[in-house]
Structure 1
């Protein structure tokens, strides 16, 4: 039994633009019956694109640059074997902390070595100073200075810091000549001679300034007021 065909003038549906769909007519775009249908709605024209100003262009370029930088950083992080940038940041900070700790240890050792060298130089300088003082003291003791006089002589002895033993001995001898009392020796002081030829302060020559006979009695009578004349 043959299947009846649908009525060719009865639409079997409609297109999206509202035009009817006929079972036969409309399949051919050159069919003149297409001209009898009302035109479909025309879409609204797209608004013209607004021109970009300089600020908008700068923002667009900056956004694209940031996106490119983030993509490059993401690729670098993946190449280094990390899943995110925070892991890479933590790893880098740990490396920096380790380097700082190692540098601090090196600096501490260098400072300790410098302190040891300074202390050794100070001890050597003190030893040299004690040796020089011992040489000066020995030179003064050899000339007879002892006790407090030795300490005074050490203060009065003026020589160069790097003077040798001969120079110290000469300076000690010169000091002894200037200050013999510091070395246990004294010089006898001879008073100047009197006009008569005898030393000043010595006893008068025998027979000089003898009192006259009766002079002592006359002096006593004069003191008691019995005599008023000379």
Structure 2
């Protein structure tokens, strides 16, 4: 049995094929949305390192420096719940010295080293600079990080809002594209969310400026460290796949 297709039918069939080639059963729309947050808390991580001939002496000195820093910070307005220590280590410390006689490096025992961390987490942003000044004057060796950050609750609220905006925008764009094609969205096939687009998320950016203000001199006051924060940007890309089909005639 043979199937005969005339030129007119063939042309109509090709037109239908071309039309459906550009109208798959689903379409994908990508949208990017952004939101901004101000900081609600400051997180400062201090490191305290002491070295002495004996482990006990080094530990006592380390504890003394931390206790002094904590007490002074509490006097300045910090709460006890905002201060904590972590990651304490005690170990023998050696330094490398070059020996001209042997033409090699020798390990020289220099004592026992104690390392500890003091973490300050507070919603009192104005205490950040004062906490640093107190820590330095108390014998704390290093400030490893200073961060002004939003709270997790605020971050979640922003994410939900930004994702909702991106999805709504994707739906609008898809409907606009389908309008002249006499097709419409039937349902959502999938939603893929990519946060921190191109690595530009600044929700946890470190402090930007650090300097001492000229409070001394005639006033007889010590210089106080000042910290400046910036707003945090959150980017999200939403990829939405829609099931589409021809509009139903009323």
Structure-2-length-normalised TM-score = 0.22
Q: Which has the higher contact order (CA 8 A, sep 6+)?
A: 2
By percentage of residues, which structure has more strand? 2
Task: Specify the structure having the higher radius of gyration (Cα).
Answer: 1
Tell me which protein shows more helix as a share of its residues.
1
